[in-house]
Structure formats: C-alpha cells, structure tokens
Chains A and B, each alone.
Chain A
C-alpha cells in the first residue's frame, strides 16, 4: 500500500479584526489553501497566551499559526506588541523542549490581505508537511 501523504494538524489563532477578516476575504475571493488548519477566533492576537499555544503542541498539533494586525494597526492599539514578545519567548522554549521553533509561526495579515492569508496558510502547511509530524507524536510512537 502506498504511503499516504502526511496530513498535518494545524491550529490557527486569528485575531477578529485583521487576520480573521483576511481569512474571510480569502473566501470571498475564492482563494484556495490546504484544509489542514482549524481556526480559533480570538479578539486580539494578544489574547493568545503561551499556555494556549503549548496546549496545542501538547495535544499533538504539528504547527500553530498566529495571525494578528500589522504593527500600528492593532484594534487594541498594542496587543500585537505583546504577541511578538510572547511568541519569541515561546519559540525559544519550543527549541529548548526539542521542537523545531518554526512549528510556531506569527504573521501580520490585515483584513485586506486575503491573498497573503492564503499564501501564508499554504506555505506554512507545506513547511510543516516537509518537517513531518510533531516530535511529540514521534515520541509517543517510540514509547509504544
């Protein structure tokens, strides 16, 4: 039997005002992207705590994509600055725990950037595909 292509599970945390709207716009303009992502709408990328992201990785997510407003465009003025800080720290933490830091990706996508949303999700999904399953899955498989 031919080996099935690895289909990663990706969690997206999209801010309501920019990236979630950009994702809607991608739909309105019928831009196509891989269906591996599951989107959680949050009010601001600053709503996402490191714990939420870690929970996703603990539960086996292969990648986490966080989308917020461009710097200077945050609906809540500076929530996305907090996001940068937290995600940089998280990437270091992921590396420390043996995850590839790139499994966590942060992108600023505005409500007008439907194409960028589609491109970002596509590129990120392909990247995770090439990286293979989350190290956690490899670990559980090994432990078995």
Chain B
C-alpha cells in the first residue's frame, strides 16, 4: 500500500503489486518450475535454515497455492535474459517474464491494518554471541527445527553438527523488557508461553531424555488455561524453570557446546553447559510497517505500535483506519483473532449502509431429476500435463474405467481443470445423459468446488460427484513405481465410481433468520456488543440482572493507560439507552431458550413477568466478580481492601487512604493456587496503577507490592518500570511461603514476608493493605445449560477453539465476550465485545441460513431411540423426540462430521455423501481383487 486519499467510507488506496512472473490463472501449482530452476537461495520461511529456488511457493500451504519468481535472485534477471528453464518446462505456459509491477487504485470504505510483527534480531546482544556461535539460535529457528515441514522434517538437531541436543536452554526476554540492548522496554507478551511450548515439544521430539531449562525473570502465563500448561511443563514434563537473567553466554572450548553463566536466586554465580541455547526473541514493528504508518498518517506510540485508546482498541488516530494484531501491541493468537473480528466489526459499523452493495448473486441453474434413472457415470482421467501422465498410465486407467459397472463414458483430458475441459464436461453430460461424474486428477480439497460448479451448470446436483486423487496421492508420491501407481489409480477410480453410483442428489434449503440479537449482561462487554450490533442496523435486546447498566466498570477509576473510565461509561450507557435499535431489560433474567441459530426464542423474566423474545444470535457477557477472601482480615478490618474497593477509596478520598503513610499490596489472593489454577490477568497491572496513584498522592508513602510473578504483560510493562522508578518496592514471595498479616490492638496491620533478595523475613507496616483477589464467574451454570454451551473447570465459558475461535461457541449463533470468558482488562473486553458483535452480525446479515448438503439424517423407522448419537454430537444438533421415541438431527446445526453415524449401533444415521453403504463399498472395491484371489485360493 503506497498511498491513500479520500475519507472514511470513500478511500482511494494506491497498491503496488509486484510482478510474480507467473500467470495465476494458468499456474496449476505442479511445482515443475521450482524443480527445474537452477538457482538456490536461502528459504526465509525456514529462517534460512534450508534452501529454496528462485521459482518458489512461499511455503507448502500458501494460499493461493501459486508459484512466483523472485526477481532479485532469478538468473534470467541477473544474467540478462538467459536460463528460462521454468518457462521451458512449465506445462501450462504460465511463466510470463514480460510482467511488470503494477500500481492499482482501489476504492474502499475502510482500511484494516494487520501487518504483524518482526521477530527481534538478537545479533546486537554481543554477550549472547548469536551471530558467532552456531548453537545459539532464535526461538523462530527452533520452531522450524521442530516442524514436520521444516528443514529437518521435525528431527530435533543443533546446527553445528546436526547432533540431537540433550541439553537445551531458553533465555527469555531477548529484545523485550530491555532498554540497554534495544529500546524495547515493553514485554512481548507471548515468549513465556512459546518457550514452554517449545520445551514440551522438544522433549516429545527427543529420542533420549532431554534437559530443558528456561531462564526467565517473571513467568507470564496470564492467558486462559496457560497457568495449568506451565504447571504441567514443570511437574509432568520436568522442564526446569530458573529465575535468572543470564548475563553471559560462552563457547565451551574444544566443543560446540555453550556455557551459560548466571546468578541463582540465592546470589550464587553458577555455570551450566548446554548443547543448544535458544533466545526467546521478542516482537517489534518493522521499519517497513512504520513507513506504511507514516504514509497513512496514523499516530505511533513510543514503543512503535499503532496508537489506540483503551475504549476504541482497534481504531487508529485516523478515522476509517483500523488496526488489529501485533501492530497494535505485542499479543498472542487469541487476542489477535479477537481484534481481527473487532476491526471487521468496526469497519462494518462504518460501512453498514453499503452492505451487499457490491455483492453479486450466483445464478441459479435448473436441476435435472435423476432419482428415477440408473446411474450413468462419466469418468474424466486427467493427465495434468505430465504431472500424472509421466508416472501413471492414464490411457490404461481410461480403458480400465470403461469396464466398470455404471460407467457410460470415459475420456482423458490434458488438464481437467482448464476452462475448455469444464465446457467439455458439460457437453459430455448432455450428450451422453451422464448423471454422475468422477474426475481422476488432483485433490478434492482444492478442486472439488470447481467441478461441482461445472456439473451444477450442466443441470446435475453438485453432490453427484466424486474425485479420485491420482496426483497428490498418486503420481507424485510413487514416482519411481509407475506400474504400482497405475494400479493404485485404477483402484481409486473403481472406489470412486462405486461410491458415486450410490450417491443420491442432496438437497440444500434455506431457513429464515430473525434479524435481532440478544445480549445477556449489561456491563461494558454487553453494552459494547449491543452497540456494535445496533450500529450495524440490527435490533438488540440487552438483558441485565441488576437495575442499572455498567456493571463492575462503575467501580473503576482509570484504564491502565490512565484514561478515565466514568465519562466513557456514562456516554456508553447513554448511547445504549438512546439507541432506537436497543431495548434494555433491567432486573431481568433469561429463563428459557428454544430454537437454534437464526431462530432462537428466549424467555426474559422481569419481576415475575415473562416476555418471549425472538432473536437470531445471542452474546453471553455476564461478566465476572471479585473473589472475596477469607484470609488477611478481609471484611474484618477496614484497612484491608480489594482492588476495586481501593479504587473507590481513592475516588472518594477516604482518609484511610489519603492519610496513609504505608501501603502494602498482596498479589494472587485466590489466583494461581490449586483451587483456582489460573492467573486473573488484570491484578498485577491494577495494583501497580493503584500504587502509582498512592505515590502521586504522597510521594513519601512506603508502597510495597508483594508478588509471585509480575505479569504486566505487553506495553503495561512500562507502568511497572515507572512504579519502580518512583520508588514502589517489589518483593517476591513463593506460593509455599505466603505473606503473613497481623493486626495490632489499635487495628493497624503488619505484613511479614520473606524477602527474596535479603533471604530473610521482613516485617512491613501497612496503613492500608490492598488484596489483588481473583476474578471469578457466578451464576453461569443455568445460562450455560439454557444455551447448551460448555464451561471450563474454572467456571468460565468455553469457546469453540481457544486460539482460532475465541468468541464463538461450538453451538452456532451463540457468542461470548468479556470476563465471562476469562479475566481481562477493559480494552480487551471491549475488543472481544466488538468481535462477538461482528461474529453475530455474520449470522444476522444473511438473508437465510443454508442448511442441508453433507449432513446427517436419522432414519426414524429404524431408530430405536437409544440416544447414543445425542451425547457424541459436539454441536448439540441432535435431539431426542420424547413423543416419537426417536432422535432427530437439526440440519441447520449439523456440521457433517458423521460421528453420530459412526456411533449409531443400528447404523440408522446416514451422513450424506459418506454413507455407511458408500464407505463399505469403497472398502470392498479397494480389496476387490483380493477377494477374487481369496476365493480362488479357497476354491483351489
């Protein structure tokens, strides 16, 4: 992107598209160009640990899977027009050296920036010798060594001698929390978790016992289920966690090993030797992205991330330009995915009036009824240039196919996927009255939709189709065994023909959608989600248990960035209350839920009166609560207060706080313990914030924070740094030796804690004692049952996928946001709420829900009502009909996995397209020749 003009809703964006010298339309991704290319260059995808060619695919799973030629290294460009090996061998004439870079103007309404990050280059850390010692590598390089598709095919080796390491050390915070080697005072937020993950995977990949040691400052496993993962690494996998910032890395003379010198927690200098040292490098914004930022004119923070506000976490300083992912600040995958949906939602709010303005409707083709016809199968055997034909005898496969039952027509094609062949297939269908098609070529994963579209245009139901994979799983993997590859191709065609002959046409149907959303919970997450939907033009009902809106945010003073929360909240509540599309139900509860995605009807009970509300999607945002400690005189002594209570005391200028000469904070009260094995994520930052406020109130106040690991992740680290600079004292304690609080006769408090530097107990006076107590969820069970959504062991709502679907439930049409999902600060709650609204809008924006196709169906005449299917369905799509004593699949909810069909003891459930009969037939056909042999053997 090289330029932008216009305004929100009407941007004109200039994009520079580099020439790839391959015609994307013609490239069939066969890879012959790369095979024939004589120029080897370092493969950046494998961190330079392997080579690729100048003609290349970025990586095996690149989308679209189209090759490119790299101008900077290609011999044709370097040597003035010579070489052209790729052009000579390309079977589809896709190579085009005449291409040039093109500048394009694109009209868009909004821009979303998601350029990602650059891993920190540790060459500058001279003490770690990354540039000098081959066995000091970065975590990104180790990722490649551990990957099955990496340079060593997942075999864990070290670079110097390709020996399998027996001792690996990870050094944390390389390029993070460090202003000496780099200007990165922030925490990169993801390295602790990835180091633990790498340590576990390395142990799994090792043939012998592996000593894995992680050298860290604070272990920051603050995400959902992360703390348990940390414990498992330590307790089950035996990963060693050593709290120390390593200062020197040295070569071990006479070997390729690496020695690490560090100070133990007791202050002892120790040296340990390792086979391999991994530098856990942090995240930073690349210069190119900063350049883009400058082009767009968006504000950049001192840490070089895109500037956003806590209350609009995906909005840049320029209206209409949004941001998500690591460019907004260092973050992990779940948070990035949430922000991605949030940014899409923010753009949708802006562009709601233009929704579908540029959409085109697919033409509808009349479908020929084949139900009364005998199967007439057409088989098309593809050469794929020479990709198949050079190994598999495609003529023999063609001739063999003509002998198969039901086959009415067989033909070879040079490229089955080419436009001409598509036309030809349509012609052959009409000409020979074919009613089922088999294409023997590449893989259905990329090409099934193409062929299905073609036969649809010829009037056939698109499911009357089967592919035999004779390239990716044929000629390409049996290149030196042409006879066996041909035999396999024949067998796979026979299996495909037999299966498609049994294939009935499948129906797809449309279900209407109630274009309204239901939001459960009237806190910040619920209100932001409601506004997100309403601003996109959908009716929203907000159901709040209490008699006011705003939730716990009412008790908060500032976001961690210092932005005052109450004015924002007042405005948010006002916008919700005044929005014509939002209806607020206070003092209300959900007492019944019927229906499914697009068609829910929920009962809202308000002071004994029931109202039925139809809605198409629901967002659960019931929030969290503070854990009320039994310990530390909480509730007995007014000087002891939870974080939110201290906020209130600060706000109300309570003399207990304003006159205090000393303050002590105790972290992890109720968190990270066996009963509650999770980190509450917000408390470290919250206590640091309050400590800073106390220091501002009275710079002479003695302020202590007693912690286990400071988890001021991301750019919150700057706050921690500021607190230390302003004299807040930090004392670390261990979970086995927690601080002891005593109360004197006059109600004053003393706190005794073992100082980790002095190595002995110290007693601190505390005029006020802040308890950073855990965040818990209450009253979630009923709601979970009503919406048929699961909870974690810790009581939080459990999303469909922790990394990739952070706001969806497995149950379609139901979403989650805010603290009900996991403890999180306000900016993240808002991002998740916006994300949930965007995901719900995906449902509500449709005219109807398409159901059917590859889904399961119960044959009611043979179902005995055992309900074995009901429990195994991950999507709650199967119900037991009490009156008929049989089960029924809701085809709108069914995702077509077939687990129910496999579990049904009477096989009365059919997964369309993969029916029992079809699977049995494929097995039978695969082994058909064997059966003949066996019969012959038995008969002989």
Tell me which residues across on chain A come within 8 A of B926, comparing CB atoms: 9, 11, 38, 40, 56, 61
Chain A CB count within 10 A is highest, among B61, B147, B487, for B61
Tell me which residues across on chain B come within 8 A of A79, comparing CB atoms: 874, 897, 899
Bound-state Cα–Cα, A31 to B476, Å: 8
Of B120-128, B165-173, B668-676, B927-935, the one with at least 4 CB within 8 A of chain A: B927-935
Bound-state Cα–Cα, A17 to B914, Å: 15
Q: Does B920 contact A (CB under 8 A)?
A: yes
Inter-subunit contact A77/B484 (CB<8 Å): no
Inter-subunit contact B934/A38 (CB<8 Å): no
Inter-subunit contact B923/A11 (CB<8 Å): yes
User: Knowing A40-B926, A52-B923, A113-B149 touch, does A32 contact B479 (C-beta < 8 A)?
Assistant: yes
Inter-subunit contact B902/A47 (CB<8 Å): yes
Bound-state Cα–Cα, A44 to B477, Å: 23
Q: Does B358 contact A (CB under 8 A)?
A: no
Q: Does A105 contact B (CB under 8 A)?
A: no
Inter-subunit contact B60/A29 (CB<8 Å): yes
Mark out the residues of chain B between 863 and 901 whose CB falls within 8 Å of any chain A CB in the assembled complex. Answer: 872, 874-875, 895-899, 901
Tell me which residues across on chain B come within 8 A of A33, comparing CB atoms: 477-478
Inter-subunit contact B899/A44 (CB<8 Å): yes
User: Quick one: which of A11, A37, A47, A86 contacts B911, CB cutoff 8 A?
Assistant: A47
Number of residues of chain B lying within 8 A (CB) of chain A: 65
Inter-subunit contact B899/A31 (CB<8 Å): no
Q: Does A1 contact B (CB under 8 A)?
A: no
The A-B contact count (CB < 8 A) is 187
Within the complex, the shortest CB–CB distance from B855 to chain A, in Å, comes to 10
Inter-subunit contact B895/A143 (CB<8 Å): no
Number of residues of chain A lying within 8 A (CB) of chain B: 58
Inter-subunit contact B895/A76 (CB<8 Å): yes
Q: Does B271 contact A (CB under 8 A)?
A: no
Q: Does B148 contact A (CB under 8 A)?
A: yes
User: Quick one: which of A31, A42, A77 contacts B914, CB cutoff 8 A?
Assistant: A42
Closest residue on chain A to residue B489 by CB atoms: A35
Chain A CB count within 10 A is highest, among B29, B471, B923, B924, for B923
Q: Does B481 contact A (CB under 8 A)?
A: yes
Inter-subunit contact B937/A52 (CB<8 Å): no
Inter-subunit contact B148/A116 (CB<8 Å): yes
Q: Does A106 contact B (CB under 8 A)?
A: no
Q: Does A137 contact B (CB under 8 A)?
A: yes
Within the complex, the shortest CB–CB distance from B916 to chain A, in Å, comes to 8
Inter-subunit contact B488/A35 (CB<8 Å): yes
User: Quick one: which of A21, A46, A119, A137 contacts B902, CB cutoff 8 A?
Assistant: A46
Within the complex, the shortest CB–CB distance from A33 to chain B, in Å, comes to 6
Bound-state Cα–Cα, A52 to B335, Å: 41
User: Quick one: which of B874, B898, B919 contacts A40, CB cutoff 8 A?
Assistant: B919
Within the complex, the shortest CB–CB distance from A70 to chain B, in Å, comes to 11
A69-99 Cβ-contact flags toward B at 8 Å (1 or 0): 0000001111100100010000000000000
Inter-subunit contact B492/A38 (CB<8 Å): yes
Inter-subunit contact B920/A35 (CB<8 Å): no
Inter-subunit contact A56/B477 (CB<8 Å): no
Closest residue on chain A to residue B492 by CB atoms: A38
Inter-subunit contact A24/B919 (CB<8 Å): no
Inter-subunit contact B934/A60 (CB<8 Å): yes
Inter-subunit contact B903/A38 (CB<8 Å): no
Tell me which residues across on chain A come within 8 A of B916, comparing CB atoms: 49, 51-52
Q: Does A20 contact B (CB under 8 A)?
A: yes
Bound-state Cα–Cα, A118 to B477, Å: 9
Inter-subunit contact A47/B897 (CB<8 Å): yes
Inter-subunit contact B148/A56 (CB<8 Å): no
User: Quick one: which of A38, A41, A86 contacts B491, CB cutoff 8 A?
Assistant: A38
User: Quick one: which of A9, A78, A82 contacts B930, CB cutoff 8 A?
Assistant: A9
Q: Does A135 contact B (CB under 8 A)?
A: no
Chain B CB count within 10 A is highest, among A38, A60, A140, A141, for A38
Tell me which residues across on chain B come within 8 A of A140, comparing CB atoms: 934, 937-938
User: Knowing A32-B477, A55-B923, A60-B927 touch, does A143 contact B938 (C-beta < 8 A)?
Assistant: yes
Q: Does A101 contact B (CB under 8 A)?
A: no
Q: Does A25 contact B (CB under 8 A)?
A: yes
Inter-subunit contact A76/B874 (CB<8 Å): yes
Inter-subunit contact B479/A30 (CB<8 Å): yes
Q: Does A131 contact B (CB under 8 A)?
A: no
Q: Does B31 contact A (CB under 8 A)?
A: yes
Inter-subunit contact A24/B445 (CB<8 Å): yes
Inter-subunit contact A113/B938 (CB<8 Å): no
Bound-state Cα–Cα, A86 to B904, Å: 12
User: Quick one: which of B60, B472, B481, B923 contacts A35, CB cutoff 8 A?
Assistant: B481
Inter-subunit contact B472/A77 (CB<8 Å): no
Q: Does B46 contact A (CB under 8 A)?
A: no
Bound-state Cα–Cα, A56 to B931, Å: 11
Closest residue on chain A to residue B902 by CB atoms: A49
Within the complex, the shortest CB–CB distance from A77 to chain B, in Å, comes to 4
Q: Does B154 contact A (CB under 8 A)?
A: yes
Within the complex, the shortest CB–CB distance from B939 to chain A, in Å, comes to 7
User: Knowing A27-B476, A38-B495 touch, does A59 contact B903 (C-beta < 8 A)?
Assistant: no
Tell me which residues across on chain B come within 8 A of A30, comparing CB atoms: 31, 476-477, 479
Inter-subunit contact A76/B930 (CB<8 Å): no
Bound-state Cα–Cα, A51 to B934, Å: 21
Inter-subunit contact A43/B469 (CB<8 Å): no
Q: Does B473 contact A (CB under 8 A)?
A: yes
Closest residue on chain A to residue B913 by CB atoms: A43
Q: Does B443 contact A (CB under 8 A)?
A: yes
Tell me which residues across on chain A come within 8 A of B907, comparing CB atoms: 49, 51
Tell me which residues across on chain B come within 8 A of A2, comparing CB atoms: none
Bound-state Cα–Cα, A112 to B59, Å: 10
Bound-state Cα–Cα, A69 to B478, Å: 24
Within the complex, the shortest CB–CB distance from A110 to chain B, in Å, comes to 8
User: Quick one: which of B149, B801, B937 contacts A115, CB cutoff 8 A?
Assistant: B149
Within the complex, the shortest CB–CB distance from B405 to chain A, in Å, comes to 18
Inter-subunit contact B148/A114 (CB<8 Å): yes
Bound-state Cα–Cα, A11 to B495, Å: 12
B490-512 Cβ-contact flags toward A at 8 Å (1 or 0): 01100100000000000000000
Q: Does B444 contact A (CB under 8 A)?
A: yes
Q: Does B922 contact A (CB under 8 A)?
A: yes
Bound-state Cα–Cα, A84 to B897, Å: 16
Inter-subunit contact A46/B899 (CB<8 Å): yes
User: Knowing A25-B149, A76-B897 touch, does A60 contact B930 (C-beta < 8 A)?
Assistant: yes
User: Quick one: which of A20, A49, A111, A144 contacts B940, CB cutoff 8 A?
Assistant: A144
User: Knowing A16-B445, A47-B898, A51-B907 touch, does A32 contact B800 (C-beta < 8 A)?
Assistant: no
Inter-subunit contact B478/A32 (CB<8 Å): yes
Bound-state Cα–Cα, A116 to B495, Å: 25
Inter-subunit contact B931/A59 (CB<8 Å): yes
Within the complex, the shortest CB–CB distance from A32 to chain B, in Å, comes to 6
User: Knowing A27-B473, A30-B476, A40-B926 touch, does A49 contact B148 (C-beta < 8 A)?
Assistant: no
Q: Does B533 contact A (CB under 8 A)?
A: no
Bound-state Cα–Cα, A116 to B914, Å: 26
Bound-state Cα–Cα, A126 to B263, Å: 52
Q: Does B854 contact A (CB under 8 A)?
A: yes
Closest residue on chain B to residue A53 by CB atoms: B923
Inter-subunit contact B898/A141 (CB<8 Å): no
Sort A-B residue pairs by CB-CB distance and give the 7 closest, nearest first.
A27-B472, A47-B898, A76-B897, A49-B902, A27-B476, A46-B899, A35-B484
Name 7 extra pairs, CB < 8 A, besides A49-B903, A52-B919, A141-B937. A24-B443, A35-B477, A35-B487, A43-B897, A47-B902, A51-B916, A144-B938
- Name 12 A/B residue pairs within 8 A (Cβ), A-sorted: A9-B927, A11-B923, A26-B477, A27-B472, A39-B492, A47-B914, A59-B931, A76-B897, A77-B801, A77-B810, A78-B874, A144-B938
B-side residues, CB < 8 A to A, are 29, 31, 60-61, 65, 147-149, 153-154, 443-446, 469, 471-474, 476-481, 484-485, 487-488, 491-492, 495, 800-801, 810, 854, 872, 874-875, 895-899, 901-903, 907, 911, 914, 916, 919-920, 922-924, 926-927, 930-931, 934, 937-940
A-side residues, CB < 8 A to B, are 9, 11, 16, 20-21, 23-33, 35, 37-44, 46-49, 51-52, 55-56, 59-61, 75-79, 82, 86, 110-116, 118-119, 136-137, 140-141, 143-144
